[in-house]
Amino acid sequence: MPVTTISGQEVHVDDEGFLTEYDEWSKDLGAQLAANIGIDPMTDDHWAVIDFLRSDYQEQGETATLRRVSAVGGFPTKSLFVLFPKKPARKMSYIAGLPKPAGCI
């Protein structure tokens, strides 16, 4: 896996830039990843979704789909599109430092 430097921290990423090592992520790194894709500043609503994704990943062993974030996490799909415009599942998982969800293009 390639290694890149983000905010002065070396992290392992895949070919699309998604982090591959769960423990390399931090909230500061997440904020920088968000800024890199134009989501700045991160609000409490953004962080609630990211916290759910990271917690769910630890329990399930895979990145939650948009449907799961909405159904299990309780975040309305429309609000996810407002918080993470266009391709919300991809953006949420990127910021959370998780692999791209299955079925996400």
Q: What is the mean pLDDT of residues 10-18?
A: 94
What DSSP character marks residue 11? E
DSSP string spanning 27-89? HHHHHHHHHHTT--S--HHHHHHHHHHHHHHHHHSSPPPHHHHHHTT---HHHHHHHS-SSHH
pLDDT band at 1 (very low <50, low <70, confident <90, very high): confident
Catalytic residues: 104
pLDDT band at 105 (very low <50, low <70, confident <90, very high): low
